[in-house]
Structures are given as C-alpha cells and as structure tokens.
Structure 1
Amino acid sequence: MAKLYGLGVGPGDPELMTLKAVRLIEECDIIAVPKSGQSINVAYTIAKGAIPDLDKKCIVELDMPMTRDKEKLKASHDAAAEQVKKWIDEGKNVVFLTLGDPTIYSTYAYVHNRVRDAGYETEIVPGIPSFCAVSARLNDSLTEAEEELHIIPASYDGTEEALHMKGTKVLMKSGKSIGKLKEYINSIDNPPSVKMVERCGMEGERVFTNIDEIDENASYFSVLIVRDKK
C-alpha cells in the first residue's frame, strides 16, 4: 500500500537533511509542499539544495493559508488530506515537505492526523529542529545537568508568564512579538540572557548575542534562546 511521509528538511542548511529524507524524496512519486502565500517555499528551497534535480519530480502545492481563522484552516486541512488520500488510492507514495521537524508546530500534523485516522499508512520522518540548529550556531548547549527545556510559541498568549519558568526557554514563532518581548524582558529585575538567530542556516542569517542587539523587525524565522544568568 502507498504511504504518506511527513518529512522534515531541517532548519535551513541543506547539508543538515538526513540521508533518509533525501532517499525518500528521490524515491517518492509526489512531493507536496504547503502553499502559504509566499512566493518561494522555504522547505522546497532547502530540499533542492540537497537534491539539485528536485524540480524534475512531481511537485504539488497544497493550500495552507497563514491565518488563525479556524474555519479557513479546517477547510484547507480537509482539502489537503482529501487530495493526499486520492494520491494514495492511486498507489502513489507522497512526501510532504516541512521546515524543521514535522512534530514541532508543523502544519503537516493536521494533514497527517486526518490521513492516518482515515486508515491510510503514514510515517513521520524527523528533521533537525530549528532551536537545536540555533543553539549550535550560537556555539552553546541548550541544557545542562538538571536544567529544564521549555519550547514556547511566542506569538500566543502566556509568553510573559512562561519566561519565569526555571530552565532554558526557546521562543519560536516570535515574528511581530519581538519588540514586545524585548520590552518585557528588559523590565524584569535581573533580566535573563537572551540570544537570537534569524534565518538560521539560510541566506540572510543574522546572529544576535544580547537582547539590545536584537532587531525588532526580524523575520518570522527567528528563534530566541532565553537563559537565567549564572
């Protein structure tokens, strides 16, 4: 039976793609990429860096709008899942490319759950998460000994409270919230250490080693690492 693969291409550098990811992309019949309104799909661009003749494959965009409108999101996820099921019914293996890892804040999960729950065969192929690549780019560890690690979607409510948890805080999906985050962190007594990498491993990468340097207008692809000062 044909299968759906949710495949993580990693954070940006094509050399960080796994051997399994490259093999499956080369072997599968259809490569699905999320269409979000951006002119260039980032996951596709990363994969093409590892597989130069990727454009010879059957590449299909699935509409995945960047919105929080629940009805629009449900409609797009339903439609994408139905299309994937049709391909599988035709005996075609499908790879759905996703930035970073498919299990971490990935649009793919909504399609995966629908296809899996309908009785089709599915498999998740992990990729290197962005925050691991960011920590490596900063030449530092994320945690040591008994330290806890918290992964926080910074563009949602509750971020300020989360910043007071013990351990290392990773702020993802920061986007337009960066300015607000800087202001709040600077208001804390004995504020924590904050570093950020924008577009890690991609063209236009920028590294910020303290909170005052951080550009409030940095792109969506920005990850902040917040640690208590020792």
Structure 2
Amino acid sequence: MRPLKQLIRFGREQALSCLFPVVIFASLAITKIVPLPILPRYDWLLIISLLMQWMMVRSGLETRDELKVISLFHLIGLALELFKVHMGSWSYPEEGYSKVFGVPLYSGFMYASVASYLCQAWRRLKVDLIKWPPFWMVVPLAAAIYLNFFTHHYWIDIRWWLSGLVVVVFWQSWVIYEVGGARYRMPIALSFVLIGFFIWIAENIATYFGAWEYPNQADAWSLVHIGKMSSWLLLVIVSFLIVATLKRVKAKDRIV
C-alpha cells in the first residue's frame, strides 16, 4: 500500500501546486459557457487573474519572492504574445478593453501560471538539483531558446539543435524531490518532457474554451498539432532554467 499512498501524496502536492492554472482554466470554461455582464470576457479573465494573484499572496500560498518571479514571467510571456499575434501565429478574436495590439493582458497570466506551478512544486516537494550546469552555460542557453521563438520567423528554426544541446548540457543532471518523507530522483530532461506534454494537453483545453485561436481553428476547433509540444517543451525549459537560477542565487545570498 505504501507506493499507492506515496502516489496519492504526490498527486495531492501536484494538485495544490496547480491551483493558479486550475483557476485560469475554470475561468475560461465558465466565461465561455456563462457570459458575464458589463465587461467583455477577456476583461473579466484579467480581473479574475489579478484577484487570484492577490489572494495567493495575501493567504501565504505564494511568497513575495515567488510573486517577483511570476511577474517576470508575465512580462516575458506578454512580450512573446505581442510578437506572435503580430506575426499571425495565433489570435484573440474576441473584443476587450484590456487588449493591447490585439493581445489581452490576461494572456500573460497563462505564462505566469506555469511559473506559479514551478515555484509551488519546488517548495512543496523540497526540490534539489544534482550536478546543475554552471551559470555561464545555463543563462545563454535559456536566452537562445527564448530568442529562437522570435528569430525563426526571419531566420532558420534551430529549436531541434537547441533541444539536442539541452540533452548534452543536462545529461548528468537530476532533480531530487521529497514525498511523505521519502526522497526520489528523476533526470531533469525527463521532467522537461513530462511538464511539456501536460502543458500541451492544457493548451488543447484552453483553445477549446477560446483562450486563443490558431489559424486552423478559425472555422472549428481541432486538436493542436503535436508538433506544438516542442515549443512548449522549450518554453518549459526556459521557465525551469529561470526559476532554478533565481532559486540558486537566492540560496547563495542567504548563505552569505
């Protein structure tokens, strides 16, 4: 029975870590089915996201340091959204007062929710990193992955080269986590793939409820192409690298 109990404990901690993303998905579903009065749907989603963020900090579910990380991801995600919508990669067809250059401001919270999950899971599962690559390798790699989301529209797409480089850089790296007092480990590359896969599933749910729209979904909803998982995988890697780097810098500051 112990493996089953450990699995339940792990699932519970994961569910608690996903609180912010769950609220966003629930809001997408509810506002799609039940139109809210006075304001357009995108504006209500922004208000709900802001209230949820305030409640999480106010209740202690998130620390102020985690709020800083999440705010950084909101800006990073919003910058990517502005560019991708401008390039026609996807669109937000509904009206909204909080749209800037065709992008509703709530969209940044979808990226922030990924950071929220990582920060929450990191703390709840007492994550530790083994054989983490040096700072001078991690930061340029994260920057190159993020920049490729922009540059591949004008130059060659090097995502598969970057993916191969990730495997090489993190070949000996492991993530250690704790469940019910027992410590487990997993290759970091495997954790990237698993998180990226579940975000791809979440993306299908989000587009079904009209969070955004790909060109091939303009007439009717269809499954997001499996190739998009590579984009989410790389985005997860960037997210993980940023969170891990900030956590390690913070830990060193405390030691000093």
TM-score, normalised via structure 2 length: 0.30
User: Which structure shows the bigger proportion of residues in helix conformation?
Assistant: 2
User: Which structure shows the bigger proportion of residues in strand conformation?
Assistant: 1
